[in-house]
Amino acid sequence: MADVLLGGVQGVIEGNSTPDLFIPDLIDLYRAGKFPFDKLVSYYDFEDIERAVEEQEAGEVIKPVLRMSEP
């Protein structure tokens, strides 16, 4: 924890960032393989909503995204 607090690492909460600086930094981290945000998202059909919730609560999924079917 001391590394985070004293090492110059800063988090972003609730959009407290400057997008013109923050987004290019995220892109650079992604390209360097240091922030694989595409692996943070898991997709589920809407019918699988209960499974999505269960897997998130179990810590198996970070960001479940529900896909709605076409009408």
Q: What is the pLDDT of residue 4?
A: 53
Res. 48: pLDDT tops 80: yes
Residue 61 near residue 49 (C-beta atoms within 8 A): no
Please indicate whether residue 15 or residue 39 has the higher confidence score (pLDDT).
39
Instruction: Check: pTM over 0.85? Answer yes or no.
Output: no
How many Å from the N-terminal Cα to the C-terminal Cα in the chain? 49
Residue 35 near residue 26 (C-beta atoms within 8 A): yes
- Among residues 35, 49, 43, the alpha carbon closest in space to that of 65 is found at 43
Res. 11: pLDDT tops 60: yes
Please indicate whether residue 30 or residue 2 has the higher confidence score (pLDDT).
30
- Among residues 44, 49, 50, the alpha carbon closest in space to that of 67 is found at 44
What type of residue is 46?
F
